[in-house]
Amino acid sequence: MVLVLHGGTENGNRPVRRFRLAYLRMVPFWWHIGSVGRGAGAEVRFLRNRVRGWNAPDEDPVVDARDALRRIHEQHPGIPVVLVGHSMGGRAALTVADDPAVTAVCALAPWTPPEMPIEPITGCDVLIVHGTEDSTTNPDASYHYARRAAPLAAGVTRIEVRGSGHAMLRRARRWHRMVAWFVLRVLGRVTPDRARWKDRAAAGSGRLRVRV
């Protein structure tokens, strides 16, 4: 099972509508992962949060993600789950990675403040991708998060996409391919991009900063 989590804002209690840009940006990822995942026997779900904000200390996206994982447990007991999240969704994915079903997390331009705990990703395979021109979430912050998390994770890879910003629109196909490659690698499937990426983005705490 692959669960896709969208971004949002730091604070906001307005409902998430389907036309919101933060939601719409993840639609191509959901579609792309689904198109390749079906051949690997993977189901892909796209979670739409109740409200737009993180809303500390409530952490509404975390509540929503845990509820989605609970439903997955009930419907498919024992199935492994890969989380794919962008921005605030990346932070939510890294936070709920302590769920026993979660085996891997792909965090795209994640919001990773310095106080963010690293313990939830213990034993997980983690890919963090950040654009070098991101002015919304801090690329350096996700790098330092990766450095802190590496000793606990099964493997951490952090990739920088040169010239790309927070919306992941520039070089979008590369973002899509990397996410699909990661998901299918976790599933143990060979992908058309595997040979291209395996040496430059092989998971492991020693490969934290790869530029593409």
Domains of the chain, residue spans:
2-211
pLDDT for the residue numbered 206: 42
Q: How many other CB atoms sit within 10 Å of the CB of residue 45?
A: 14
pLDDT for the residue numbered 205: 39
List per-residue pLDDT tens for the chain, 212 residues long.
999 999 999 999 999 998 889 999 999 999 888 887 777 778 999 999 999 999 999 999 999 999 999 999 999 999 999 999 999 999 999 999 999 999 999 999 999 999 999 999 999 999 999 999 999 999 999 999 999 999 999 999 999 999 999 999 999 989 998 998 899 888 877 544 444 544 444 333 345 555 55
Q: Give the whole-angstrom CA distance, residue 182 versus residue 140.
A: 22
CATH no., domain 2-211: 3.40.50.1820
Among residues 73, 130, 106, which one has the least CA distance to residue 185?
106
Based on the number of CB atoms within 10 Å of its own CB, is 172 exposed (0-12), middle (13-18) or buried (19 or more)?
A: middle
pTM: 0.90
- Cβ pair 101, 112 in contact under 8 A: no
pLDDT for the residue numbered 212: 54
C-alpha distances out from residue 59 to 2, 9, 85, 167, Å: 21, 11, 15, 22
Run of H or E including 90: helix 88-95
Tokens of 183: 């998901």
